[in-house]
Structure 1
Amino acid sequence: MARAQAPLTRDPAPVRWGLRVVAVVYVVLLVAWPTYLVFENALKPGLGAMLDGLRDPDVAHAIDLTVTITVYAVLINLAFGLTVSLLLVRYDFPGKRLLSALLDVPLSVSPVVVGLALVLVYNGQDGWFGPTLERLGYQVIFSTPGIVMATVFVALPLVIREIVPVLEEIGDEQEQAARSLGANGVQTFWRVTLPGIKWAVVYGVVLALARSIGEFGAVKIVSGNVVGQSQTATLVVEETYQNFQQQTSYAVSALLALVAMVSLVVVAVLRPKEHKS
Structure 2
Amino acid sequence: MVELPTPLKWMLRVIAVGYVGLLVAWPLGMLTKRTFADGLTTLTDALTDSDVVNALQLTARVAVVAVIINLVFGVTISLLLVRYEFPGKRALSALVDLPLAVSPVVVGLALLLVYNGRTGWFGPTLESGGFTVMFATPALVMATCFVALPLVIREVVPTLEEIGDDQEQAARSLGANGPQTFWRITLPSIKWAVVYGVVLSLARSVGEFGAVKVVSGNLSGQTQTATLAVEAKYQGFDQPTAYAIAFLLVLVSIACLVVVAFLRPSSAKK
TM range, normalised to the smaller chain?
over 0.9
Q: How far is the alpha carbon of 1:219 from its aligned partner?
A: 0.2
The letter for the 1-side match of 2:223 is S
Q: Distance in 2 between matches of 1:39 and 1:47?
A: 11
The letter for the 2-side match of 1:64 is Q
Q: Distance in 2 between matches of 1:76 and 1:55?
A: 31
State the partner residue of 2:124.
Answer: 131
Q: Does 1:228 align with 2:210?
A: no
> Which region of structure 1 is more displaced relative to structure 2, 213-222 or 257-266?
257-266
- 1:162 aligned to which of 155, 170, 174: 155
Percent identity (aligned): 66
State the partner residue of 1:116.
Answer: 109
The letter for the 1-side match of 2:217 is G
Q: Does 1:174 align with 2:167?
A: yes
Q: Is the 8 A contact 2:203 2:253 kept in 1?
A: yes
Q: How far is the alpha carbon of 1:241 from its aligned partner?
A: 0.3
1:186-240 deviations in Å (ceiling 9; x for gaps)? 0110110000000000000000000000000000000000011100000000010
Q: Does 1:55 align with 2:48?
A: yes
Is the alpha carbon distance of 1:114 and 1:273 closer, same or farther for their aligned partners in structure 2, counting shifts above 3 Å? same
Query: Across the two proteins, how many residue pairs are aligned to each other?
Result: 270
Q: How far is the alpha carbon of 1:49 from its aligned partner?
A: 3.2
State the partner residue of 1:203.
Answer: 196
Q: After the TM superposition, which segments of 4 or more aligned residues of structure 1 sit over 3 Å from their partners?
A: 273-277
Q: Distance in 2 between matches of 1:242 and 1:15?
A: 46
Normalising to structure 1: TM-score of the pair?
0.95
Q: Is the 8 A contact 2:42 2:241 kept in 1?
A: no
* Structure 1 gap ranges (5+): 1-7
Normalising to structure 2: TM-score of the pair?
0.97
State the partner residue of 1:194.
Answer: 187
Q: Distance in 1 between matches of 2:49 and 2:136?
A: 22
Q: How far is the alpha carbon of 1:273 from its aligned partner?
A: 4.5
* Structure 2 gap ranges (5+): none
- 1:213 aligned to which of 197, 206, 211: 206
Q: Does 1:254 align with 2:240?
A: no
Could you say what the CA RMSD is over the residues aligned between the two structures, in angstroms? Answer: 1.3
1:30-63 deviations in Å (ceiling 9; x for gaps)? 0011011111111111114312212200110000
Q: How far is the alpha carbon of 1:252 from its aligned partner?
A: 0.2
Q: Is the 8 A contact 1:240 1:246 kept in 2?
A: yes
Q: How far is the alpha carbon of 1:12 from its aligned partner?
A: 1.4
Q: Distance in 1 between matches of 2:202 and 2:42?
A: 27
Is the alpha carbon distance of 1:214 and 1:239 closer, same or farther for their aligned partners in structure 2, counting shifts above 3 Å? same
1:236-275 deviations in Å (ceiling 9; x for gaps)? 0001001110010000000000000110122123223547
Q: Is the 8 A contact 1:54 1:248 kept in 2?
A: no
- 1:70 aligned to which of 63, 68, 71: 63
Q: Is the 8 A contact 1:58 1:228 kept in 2?
A: yes
The letter for the 2-side match of 1:168 is E
Is the alpha carbon distance of 1:94 and 1:16 closer, same or farther for their aligned partners in structure 2, counting shifts above 3 Å? same
Q: Distance in 2 between matches of 1:204 and 1:9?
A: 34
Q: Is the 8 A contact 2:96 2:149 kept in 1?
A: yes
1:158-203 deviations in Å (ceiling 9; x for gaps)? 0000000000000000011111111111011011000000000000
State the partner residue of 1:148.
Answer: 141
State the partner residue of 1:26.
Answer: 19
The secondary structure found in structure 1 opposite 2:237 is: coil
State the partner residue of 1:3.
Answer: none
